[in-house]
Chains A and B, each alone.
Chain A
Amino acid sequence: MAIEQDGLSTDGSVFTEKSGLRAFLQTWPPMVILAIVWLGLMVFIAIFAPLLTPYDFMAVDVLARLKPPVFFGGTFNHVLGTDQLGRDVLSRAIASIRVSITIALCATLISTIVGVTLGFIAAYFRGWVDQVVLTIVDAQLAMPFMIIAIAVLAFLGNSLPIFVMLLGLYGWEQVTRIARGLAISANTQGYAAAAREIGASPGRIYLRHILPNISATIVIAMTLNIPGVILLESSLSFLGIGLQPPQTSLGNMVGYGRDYIQSAPWIMLMPSAVIVVTTLSVSIMGDWLRDRIDPTVK
């Protein structure tokens, strides 16, 4: 990404007068504000989902099957319509958002822990340990993760813990590479050497000194990992090999809704839109964070 140079003025001064609003919009572009508001809403829904659902997301009502949303001939009883079993689409979407967001956050946390640990181990031992880690990273980069995930789910069977652990491996290789590189360069800096001189243990140097110093970059890498996890989870659930019913997730809803694409497209359109807007928001926010905090990561 090129560095924006619009802020430089022609008279050679680095200080320019800006109106308050323009300055505000330059640090907080409208798209970023929208993205943050949307993500805030998603987190709010994820936390308070049971209080927000107008119906039980599993409640079947055969008399109210395939009711359209409110402005397409439906009623306010089911604002977003109902699905093939008469379940309220809004309630299911809220429950799905909770599941999908929770899984994405847990998985990203796991992949960050795995990635940072491996990166630090590689950076501390160097030599053949480093080579082994780098070779596994290369092998991971060579295989599409989607295929690995499907194969593991086929062999190990599917349960929620296995599914989350598996998604938690998504993107570890990126974090490992970043953490390894940063730890190696941090080792050559004064503070790590100083800590070593006064006799701090390697564990202390890495966790108390180096980790806090590189955490901004790691957090950005985490943020940029989230859209991928959401897409992977929803794709697997869509194919019917991810989250299993009666559990519901956004991909799951789209997967079941696709059979009714002709008669009741709202069943799949609503969760699809949520997936797209959410991944879009996370990547807008991630790019913005990266440009603001640390333009060196890519």
Chain B
Amino acid sequence: MLQFVSTRFLRALVTLFIIVTFAFIVLRLAGDPAERFFDPATPQEVVDAFRHEWGLDQPIWVQFYRYIIAVLHGDLGNSMRENRPAMETVLARLPATLWIMVPTLFLKTIIGVAAGMTAALYRNSTFDRLIMSASVFGFTVPAFVLALVLALIFAVQLRWLPSGGYATPYHMILPIATLSIAGAATVARYTRSSMVEVLGRPFVRTAAAKGVRSKQVVTRHVLPNAAIPIVTVFGFMLGNVVGGAVVVESVFSWPGIGRLLVSSVQSRDLAVVQVILLLIGVMMVFSNLFIDLLYGLIDPRMRGGKTQAA
């Protein structure tokens, strides 16, 4: 078990390192900061002094080392637009994003797993077909189309809900609905196929044959075995919610991190973009680590410390 946990931690650290390296590379590829900062008429001495001050005259390895140290200290530069540490700017927007992300994750897991289970248990029924067709739409309809269609129906035509903003709890409904519908469809699909596979295994038949009640067969025998693929999708879905949040926040003028990211790209506020990139990276790595550890908890066979081969 100890080996299992430590290999997972090591993998998470390596992934974090790759993400930080990636951020450093794109930052350097973006060009010499001194050239971006000064106009061409600036005297060479001033530019050189700036370079020296920021360590830009050092070899690239030294710069990389310094960059990592700076990241570890949370020292990621200032937001040009707000003239304060970029980290503060981003953290100020974090609660708004969590307000739509957390309910979304709950909703789509509950709806998705429930729909997928029902579809698997009543395979080839009308309900099953309905769920499966809906789930195809769930991942071929882009988030921005779904968002706009929902806004068109519920905000423009019916006038039941506000089309954008942050004032009341009603404003949360459309963003959460958009993200949950798409997510639940995918979760339902995976839950169904994972359940169908387990339902066909011999131990399920054995359990049913020796007289275990069907409810118990499902909760005791099928669900624990179907849980692994479902948990895997959950990790993958988290990434989708983050990507989808960028679009949905922009459509519904929700003042979260996603909208901040888009507006920072448009105004080239690179420090903020970098903080968001690293923040999401850290979040994804830790949630994947959590899921990996969850595997070990759900399925003792996974504790061997081996990673799944591709």
Contact = CB atoms under 8 A, between A and B. Distances in A.
Nearest to B141: A276
Interface string B141-158: 111110011011000100
A149 to B, nearest CB: 9
Contacts of A142: 15, 19, 239, 281, 284-285, 288
A147 B144 contact: no
A144 B142 contact: no
Interface string A272-298: 100110011001100000000000000
Nearest to A137: B310
B281 A143 contact: yes
Interface in A180-201: 180-181
B247 A239 contact: yes
B142 A154 contact: no
A58 B201 CA distance: 60
A66 interface: no
B274 interface: yes
Interface stretch (B61-69, B87-95, B265-273): B265-273
Interface core residue of B136, B285, B310 (most chain A CB under 10 Å): B310
Contacts of A180: 310
B270 A145 contact: no
Contacts of B239: 142-144
Interface residues of A, number: 50
A280 B136 contact: yes
**Dominant SS at the A interface?**
helix
Nearest to A230: B142
A178 B113 CA distance: 28
Nearest to A178: B310
B173 interface: no
B114 to A, nearest CB: 21
Nearest to A136: B18
B262 A258 contact: no
A227 B141 CA distance: 10
Interface stretch (B22-30, B48-56, B96-104, B206-214): B22-30
Contacts of A139: 14-15, 18-19
B265 A134 contact: no
Interface in B246-286: 246-247, 250-251, 261-262, 264-266, 268, 270, 273-274, 276-277, 280-281, 284-285
Interface of B: 11, 14-15, 18-19, 22-23, 26-27, 29-30, 136-137, 139-145, 148-149, 151-152, 156, 193, 196-197, 200, 236, 239-240, 242-243, 246-247, 250-251, 261-262, 264-266, 268, 270, 273-274, 276-277, 280-281, 284-285, 288, 310
